[in-house]
Amino acid sequence: MAEAPTALNKRGSKVTVDDFKFDSQKEANFYRRFVKNCHFDYIVHPRFVLEKAGTIGTAKVRQLAYTPDFVILDRFGKMMHVYDVKNSFGVYGIDTAANMRFNLFAHRYKIPVEAVVVRRNDFKSIAQCVTKKRKIDDPLICTGFDYDWIRATNYKEAYQ
């Protein structure tokens, strides 16, 4: 039975795999194909505080948080990749609100969010909110996480 739609998942088609509840089939597919057996430690749907709750006069201001889909950790436990699974890299897939959260996350945690579009045998990745951002028509094509988003200019370079 499908759950009620949420603001992030208007169709309401939640998918459960290995006790993780994903917002979409694409997110579940990314987990199954790439994350689950990746040989890196990972965290599914971690919550990061971008701004703490506060007050303005007598009014309270809510905390601002961001929950990426996946965080891949290196062998030292440091964040190596922060992923948000999207349908596309355009404004339909990454709206203004998501882009603002990505920017705030990058400033606070010193690593950009990588938007990923899952395909049959690989995924396309573009680091968001960085000055040397890849173009939509030239994303990094990946089959795993052993790449450096800063230095890699294409799939072959990422794995050499």
- Six token digits for residue 118: 């899952």
What is the tens place of the pLDDT at every residue in 7-64? Answer: 444 556 889 999 999 999 999 999 999 999 999 999 999 999 999 999 999 999 999 9
Please give the Cα distance from 32 to 29 (Å, whole number): 5
Identify the pLDDT of residue 13.
82
So what's the pLDDT on residue 48? 97
Q: Tell me the domain boundaries of the chain.
A: 15-158
Give me the DSSP letters along the chain.
Answer: -PPPP-SS-TT---EEETTEEESSHHHHHHIIIIITTSSSEEEES--EEEE--EEETTEEE--EEE--SEEEE-TTS-EEEEEEE-S-SSTTTS-HHHHHHHHHHHHHHSSPEEEEEE-SS-EEEEE-S-TTPPPTTSPEEESSS-S-TTT--SHHHHT-
Per-residue model confidence (pLDDT) at position 155: 40
- pTM value? 0.82
Q: Which fold has domain 15-158?
A: Trna Endonuclease; Chain: A, domain 1 (3.40.1350)
Instruction: For the beta carbon of residue 101, count every other beta carbon within 10 angstroms.
Output: 21
Higher pLDDT, 92 or 96: 96
